[in-house]
Structure 1
Amino acid sequence: MSHATATIPLLHSDEARLLFGPGDSHLRQIRESLGATIVLRGDTIVLEGTDEQVESTTGAFKQLRETIKRDGIAHEAVVRRILERGNTTVPVTAESIDLFEKAKRIQPKSEGQKEYVDKIRKEDLIFCKGPAGCGKTYLAVAMALNALRSEKVRRIVLVRPAVEAGEKLGFLPGDMMAKVNPFLRPLVDAMNDMLNFEQVRLYMENDVVEIAPLAFMRGRTLNDTFIILDEAQNTTITQMKMFLTRMGEGSKIVVTGDATQSDLPEDVQSGLDDAIRRLGQIRGVGVVELSGSDIVRHRLVREIVQAYEQPSHSNRISKS
């Protein structure tokens, strides 16, 4: 096996620190994953190893450099995705999502996420299925704020089914807002991550942003509105039809869900799967299915999702 060497000249005095990460954490990840010897000599990074090791390591540093150039920093999760995907990460030319705060931009982190964002830009009705942590809700909220910023819509409506994990609103204590708030909190969290608290409060007070349970959509027509239905796997076919027919002129709907986390009774078909089957081929409708490779939460989330996707030991025994 041939021995190869390559050099990466540093662009400025601080670049080694950024590329190598806090306490050389990125350096250790790259070295352990790809196997090349990595040495800093003056203002140059020197790589040694097999042809494949050196080529892969050079590519990883190139992608890391592009990420830092774009975002100013690279987090551990970004380095991990670069190493897992080799040269298949989203190129730096992927269009970002501009928000209201001048410095705040959201960037798709995978090919699947890029496809999702592109579909939202292009189509009027988008269905997105994927596991927890793949960005389906977060990116939908970002695109809604982007549409509001660019005056493509006048309002944002964020919707969730109000029955999850076997709980029904009628059996929960408190008034209606106290009852629905726990169900809608993930949508608020996503928005709070993109805007400051005061902006979110003003939008909600002025009805620019409405966050409501699915039942509140009945009988309405929403014009010039970006509408997001989250946790759609928990809708029935009747509920999904009711929701989708709320769409008015100038509106866009994004429907997200995770088929593996349905809280519907076993004998009730999910409105999400049914809608994709019925509507997926209609012009103006986009369907995206994200996977574990698109997960961008803590490094353990991907492994947790994969573990739960495998049949359990007890299930294997019962079926044998």
Structure 2
Amino acid sequence: MSRAPEFITLSDAAARAVAGANSRHAALIEDAFGVLVETPGGGVSLSGDSKARAQAKKAVQAIADRADQGLEISEADVRVAIGQARTGAGGAPGSLPVGRRGQVAPKTATQAEYLQALAGCELVFGLGPAGTGKTFLAVAHGAGLLLRGEVDRLIVSRPAVEAGERLGFLPGDMNEKVDPYMAPVWEALTDILGADQLRRRREKGEIEVAPIAFLRGRTLSHAYVIVDEAQNATRLQMKMVLTRLGEGARMVVTGDPSQVDLVNARDSGLAHAVGLLEGVKGIGVTRFSTADVVRHPLVERIVRAYDADAARSRGDKGPDDR
């Protein structure tokens, strides 16, 4: 097979993104495909056998396309591009215009499917392990709706399992009581909106926090509601929160059914609700897998190890134990 270098013409921004800081991205591509990546100016040069070059070229072009859209390229993006090039999976087209980021783009095909569901359904369930972007993309979509005036409020809710929902015993106002449980959501909103705009919108009541128990008796109209870590909501809580939807409201429910922290795991309302509602008009369900993990690459390996252990445990149970 030919090992002659192949030159790919790219914009300066795309070439810099492919190289990465201290050539870190180029090194990842080299290690993945066994090629030599050089950036002599005006593009990228790939050296190696033809098959390796062809796969590496797909990864390079995917990274370059994102860079040319003005999107930041992280190591997670590079690893996703490498994985898609290896498996032949199609890219994840489409991006979400929102906040100071300008664009939030899906990094996997499942994330693209999830964004389509968020755009087209009134109620969406996002199921899967940590690090798959299900909460971040839900927050980004909700923030975009709020910024465009398509909803009046963004409401985030999460079961406070550690406190048994007895938040009245904690010091401070509602926000101070709930904020520790909402840290991942606030981090995402800060990243998308910026700290100043987030603070202003919270003060105006456009962004609201509430533990699930505090939603009882309310009708949520013209709001975008995010229920995070929903595997820790009981069946009764899940029914209650799903029936809070009022006129012009939309909701996304995220969680990992395999990570239930309730004393009685069978009381979890997430998997129960999905089993009842999947296929109902207006409801979308997106299932993420370890292949969609876009955090540190070690996270995917950790998730796989725990999944394998859980599978072995289920296999070890006798008929009387199930």
Superposition TM-score, scaled by structure 2 size: 0.88
1:275-294 alignment, distance < 5 Å: 275-294=273-292
- Paired residue type of 1:208: E
What is the CA–CA distance in structure 1 between the aligned matches of 2:191 and 2:51, rounded to whole Å? 40
> Is 1:310 the counterpart of 2:308 in the alignment?
yes
Deviates more, 1:35-44 or 1:119-128: 35-44
Deviates more, 1:223-232 or 1:182-191: 182-191
Structure 2 residue aligned with 1:125: 123
Query: 2:10–2:44: 8 Å Cα contact kept in structure 1?
Result: no
CA distance 1:236–1:65, change in 2 (3 Å): same
Structure 2 residue aligned with 1:169: 166
What is the CA–CA distance in structure 2 between the aligned matches of 1:11 and 1:73, rounded to whole Å? 16
CA distance 1:282–1:19, change in 2 (3 Å): same
CA distance 1:316–1:217, change in 2 (3 Å): closer
Query: 2:12–2:42: 8 Å Cα contact kept in structure 1?
Result: yes
What is the CA–CA distance in structure 2 between the aligned matches of 1:37 and 1:294, rounded to whole Å? 27
Unaligned runs of 5+ residues in structure 1 are none
- Paired residue type of 1:179: K
Identity of aligned residues (%): 35
After superposition, the C-alpha distances for 1:122-150 in whole angstroms (9 at most, x for unaligned) are 00011111111111111111111111122
CA distance 1:307–1:176, change in 2 (3 Å): farther
What is the CA–CA distance in structure 1 between the aligned matches of 2:155 and 2:65, rounded to whole Å? 35
Superposition TM-score, scaled by structure 1 size: 0.89
Structure 2 residue aligned with 1:55: 54
Query: 1:225–1:251: 8 Å Cα contact kept in structure 2?
Result: yes
CA distance 1:247–1:12, change in 2 (3 Å): closer
Deviates more, 1:32-41 or 1:128-137: 32-41
> Is 1:88 the counterpart of 2:89 in the alignment?
yes
Deviation at 1:156, TM superposition (A): 0.9
1:1-320 alignment, distance < 5 Å: 2-5=1-4, 7-12=6-11, 16-39=15-38, 43=42, 45-86=44-85, 87-88=88-89, 90-91=91-92, 94-101=93-100, 103-164=101-162, 169=166, 173-175=170-172, 177=174, 178-266=176-264, 268-311=266-309
SS of 1:33 mapped into structure 2: helix
CA distance 1:50–1:9, change in 2 (3 Å): closer
CA distance 1:54–1:254, change in 2 (3 Å): same
What is the CA–CA distance in structure 2 between the aligned matches of 1:313 and 1:18, rounded to whole Å? 39
After superposition, the C-alpha distances for 1:171-213 in whole angstroms (9 at most, x for unaligned) are 9642453432211222212111111222111111111111110
Cα RMSD for the two superposed structures: 2.6
CA distance 1:114–1:48, change in 2 (3 Å): same
Query: 1:227–1:253: 8 Å Cα contact kept in structure 2?
Result: yes
Deviation at 1:42, TM superposition (A): 6.3
SS of 1:127 mapped into structure 2: strand
After superposition, the C-alpha distances for 1:2-45 in whole angstroms (9 at most, x for unaligned) are 23545224345665443222222122111111112445556564
- Paired residue type of 1:142: A
What is the CA–CA distance in structure 2 between the aligned matches of 1:209 and 1:155, rounded to whole Å? 6
Deviates more, 1:28-37 or 1:175-184: 175-184
Deviates more, 1:142-151 or 1:118-127: 142-151
SS of 2:245 mapped into structure 1: coil
Query: 1:184–1:213: 8 Å Cα contact kept in structure 2?
Result: no
Deviates more, 1:112-121 or 1:200-209: 200-209
What is the CA–CA distance in structure 2 between the aligned matches of 1:124 and 1:311, rounded to whole Å? 36
Query: 2:151–2:224: 8 Å Cα contact kept in structure 1?
Result: yes
The number of aligned residues is: 315
What is the CA–CA distance in structure 2 between the aligned matches of 1:197 and 1:14, rounded to whole Å? 28
After superposition, the C-alpha distances for 1:204-225 in whole angstroms (9 at most, x for unaligned) are 1111111110011000101111
Query: 1:81–1:89: 8 Å Cα contact kept in structure 2?
Result: no
CA distance 1:29–1:192, change in 2 (3 Å): same
What is the CA–CA distance in structure 2 between the aligned matches of 1:283 and 1:158, rounded to whole Å? 24
What is the CA–CA distance in structure 2 between the aligned matches of 1:275 and 1:317, rounded to whole Å? 26
